[in-house]
Structure 1
Amino acid sequence: MSRLTLMCGLAGAGKSTYARTLQDRGWVRFSIDAEAWAMGFTGSSTVPPEVAADIRASQREAISNALDAGVDVVVDYAFPSRAMRDEYRDLGRTHRAQVEVVFFDTDEALVRDRLTRRRGSHPDDVVVDEGTLEAYRSAFEAPTPDEADVTAIRSRW
């Protein structure tokens, strides 16, 4: 049975670092940021919503194919809403995968510190300004206790 792991958390929380460790172990990693970067969109607020939607649609198909082939998959998105997490849970279950959500419950001061050190040098280093972070933070729905497949990673330092 293949595994589907969904990264969940704010920008700067540690999702991509964790996802890359899985990728280094042979998992296939999907990232909107990486795809958008390859298309020339090198900032968090420069990806038009319709482009992000097209990337997600294309990646959903590739995720489905990978799971059907028995490959382990990590989806390196923020999964900011319960509805989005549920959508991808259903995708994984449809393709008989074991689904896990890894939630990065990272201290806000640490997130801000990490983001101030970003330079925009690669897809996992996209600069996120204060306004964009605040918009992400205010719209983010943290996983709730009834989401039984969640593993929380708490970073406070």
Structure 2
Amino acid sequence: MMCGPAGAGKSTVARRLEGEGWHRLSFDDVAWSRGLRSHPLADADAEAVRAAVRAELLDLVGQGRDVVVDSASWSRASRDEYRALLATEGVVPLTCYVETPREVALSRVAARRGSGPHDLELPPGVAAAYVDGFEVPTAEEGPLVVVPGG
């Protein structure tokens, strides 16, 4: 389970895992495929995207596939939801926190041009709120690896 604020580099790390044979599930890809191009999403849209990701995750895990969830997982509560969901399948997920300096993450977001699901433009205030509101995971949540993102 990837986690980190916007611009941290989560999708880059997730794509590396995909290249190693993991199935990558992306919140942003699902939102983009539904025509959702601006963030934050309306509550109903966000919940529909989350439900689609959760359903596919359970299907893939049920098939015995290695899966990386490419999403911000910005709060402990959101990470706990995935842990509870996967516990029903006997799976303890690894949290992969992409640790990136604030200024690097914000610079990356500022350079976005809206060309795809991982290039979503965010107003500077929204981007800053995403970075500043991110809840850094701790080892007490469960298995954790910290990856430098920039």
**Normalising by structure 2, what TM-score?**
0.91
Deviation of 1:154 after TM superposition, in Å, equals 2.7
1:147: how far off? 2.5
Query: Which residue of the partner structure matches residue 8 of structure 2?
Result: 13
Report if aligned partners of 2:4, 2:98 keep a CA contact under 8 Å in 1.
yes
State whether structure 2 residue 89 is matched by structure 1 residue 86: no
Q: How far apart, CA to CA, are the structure 1 residues paired with 2:96 and 2:80?
A: 14
Aligned pair 1:44/2:39, yes or no? yes
Q: Say if 2:62 is the partner of 1:68.
A: yes
Cα deviations across residues 17-51 of structure 1 (Å, max 9, x unaligned)? Answer: 11111122222221221111111112223x32211
Output the CA distance in 1 between the equivalents of 2:35 and 2:62: 31
Deviation readout 1:79-136 (Å, 9 max, x if unpaired): 1111111111122222123410001110011112211221111111111221111221
Pick aligned residue for 1:122 from 99, 116, 122: 116
**For the structure 1 residues 148 and 58, does the alpha-carbon distance in structure 2 shift closer, same or farther, using more than 3 Å as the test?**
closer
Task: Report the CA distance between 1:139 and its aligned residue.
Answer: 2.5
Equivalent AA in structure 1 for residue 146 of structure 2: A
Give RMSD over aligned pairs.
1.5
Distance 2:148 2:21 in 1: 25
CA contact (8 A) 2:7 2:105 kept: yes
| Counterpart residue identity of residue 116, structure 1 | A
Deviations along 1:61-81, one digit per CA (max 9) or x if unpaired, are 111111011011111111111
Instruction: Give distance in 1, aligned partners of 2:16 and 2:104.
Output: 20
- TM-score computed with the length of structure 1 as normaliser: 0.87
Change (3 A) 1:116 1:138: closer
Inter-partner Cα distance in structure 1 for 2:142 and 2:62:
24
1:137 aligns with 131
Q: Is the 8 A contact 1:43 1:120 kept in 2?
A: no
56-65 vs 67-76, which deviates more?
56-65
| Identity in percent | 39
Q: Distance in 2 between matches of 1:19 and 1:154?
A: 13
Q: Which runs of 5+ in 1 are unaligned?
A: 1-5
Unaligned runs of 5+ in 2: none
User: 2:141 is matched with which residue: 136, 147, 151?
Assistant: 147
1:26 aligns with 2:21: yes
Q: Number of aligned pairs? A: 150
> Which segments of structure 1 move beyond 3 Å, counting only runs of 4 or more?
none
